[in-house]
Amino acid sequence: MTSASPGAPRRPRRVCLLSVHTSPLEQPGTGDAGGMNVYIVETASRMAQRGVAVEVFTRATSSEHPPVAELAPGVLVRHVVAGPFEGLGKHDLPSQLCAFTAGVLRTEARHEPGHYDVVHSHYWLSGQVGWLARDRWGVPLVHSAHTLAKVKNAALADGDAPEPMARVIGEDQVVAEADRLISNTDEETRQLVELYGADPGRTVAIPPGVDLARFTPGDRAAARRALGIAPGAVVLAFAGRIQPLKAPHVLLRAAAEMLRRDPGLRARLVVLVAGGPSGSGLAEPAALQGLAAALGITDVVRFLPPQTRDGLVDVYRAADVVAVPSHNESFGLVALEAQACGTPVVAARVGGLPVAVADGRSGLLVDGHGDAQWADALAAAALAPGRRDELAAAAVPHARCFSWDRTADALLDTYAGAAAEFADRQRQAMRARLAAGMIEP
């Protein structure tokens, strides 16, 4: 168990995590489950390994969900009934926040005061709940946005709807109220400060990590056999939710351009698309399948359902290159996972991807989403064996710079600092009230 250094603020004993719109128990890669789910699972588990009790509150989406479930030793998931179990998307959830908040507060009220030492909210919906819980419980609020409406709206994908003003206002409120804001990168810190007026002194950049025990280099031939792919194939892969924001269509169009340039490649090319429909991409993968047909590449494209973590290992190891063509990514966990498996990444130069991918060393970054430029980058990384091997060799050490243990330790230190400052402000406020005669000594 890791402890704080002598003289450092005391780390928390018990942490409340809020994840209103998606449960850490859900399978990433479909619906609203994605990188945030992985983030919560990995950091909560590692905080528990350090002796911190963690409770995650999420909205119950099925009558079959137990009130409390164990995610990992020391980590409990509490399912709060708030609104109908099914049929609610993220845009419908603000109307259920009062009911969700009431459920969270009722749970805490069953304990002695001071049960939780800190509240960490994930995504703006949870931040609205965390703001009220912070004031009721007298503990600091730490908030992770994961994605930002103003950033997303500034780089909308074709066919994607802008985030509503209610979310923009809600994010502004949470940014103003949080005692600490956790960003993934310095770029996200800049966005919070410039677009939302965040206090730089309350904003901490803590990069996410990768499960370095699970995502490792391995037998590519075995991974290809598991997926039914020929040993000599050229494999381009995409893993993630099927929605315009993640832009899997960019990979398909680039693959079609590669075949146009080199028709002989068709006999060897395999394009893997692993994931399920999400958000405004609910018509997909049917829409992607239609695009593949329109491009004349149905024979080289294979659609896989959302993969388990171990299933993703096979996808990454089987690929010559993993494509991350998103229009916006606060970080890009897929890019890190693929590199940890020894597979180079071609990614869009957006958000946190320039941190997740070492351009020219562990992968290549692409400006824009044009067919030609993506075909150029994918061909450079996948079709030149020497270059592909160079990128693969650097991918693993780059990924090893990021670990969930490091992320969890940084979060715990941030919690401790926020709690110490929060307690100091409370003492100062008490002294001021005493001096003003507002309360009796």
As annotated, the binding site for UDP-N-acetyl-alpha-D-glucosamine includes 27-28, 35, 241, 246, 307, 329, 337
CA atoms within 13 A on the CB side of 253: 11
Question: Which pair of tokens denotes residue 335?
Answer: 């890019």
Annotated binding site: 21, 27-28, 32-37, 90, 123, 147, 167, 241, 246, 307, 316-317, 319, 329, 337, 343
Annotated binding site for Mg(2+): 316-317, 319, 343
Q: What's the per-residue H, E or C state across the chain? A: CCCCCCCCCCCCCEEEEECCCCCCCCCCCECCECHHHHHHHHHHHHHHHCCCEEEEEEECCCCCCCCEEEEECCEEEEEECCCCCCCCCHHHHHHHHHHHHHHHHHHHHCCCCCCCCEEEEECHHHHHHHHHHHHHHCCCEEEECCCCHHHHHHCCCCCCCCCCHHHHHHHHHHHHHCCEEEECCHHHHHHHHHHHCCCHHHEEECCCCCCCCCCCCCCHHHHHHHHCCCCCCEEEEEECCECCCCCHHHHHHHHHHHHHHCHHHHHCEEEEEECCECHHHCCCCHHHHHHHHHHCCHHHEEEECCCCHHHHHHHHHHCCEEEECCCCCCCCHHHHHHHHCCCCEEEECCCCHHHHCCECCCEEEECCCCHHHHHHHHHHHHCCHHHHHHHHHHHHHHHCCCCHHHHHHHHHHHHHHHHHHHHHHHHHHHHHHHHCCCCCC
120 Cβ neighbours under 8 A, 6+ residues apart? 15, 16, 17, 18, 130, 141, 142, 143, 144, 182, 411, 415
Annotated binding site for 1D-myo-inositol 3-phosphate: 21, 32-37, 90, 123, 147, 167
- Taking the CB of residue 113, how many other CB atoms lie within 10 A of it? 8
- Please tell me the total number of residues recorded for the chain in this structure: 441
CA distance 35 to 240: 9
CA atoms within 13 A on the CB side of 2: 14
Phi, psi of 399 (to 5 degrees): -65, -30
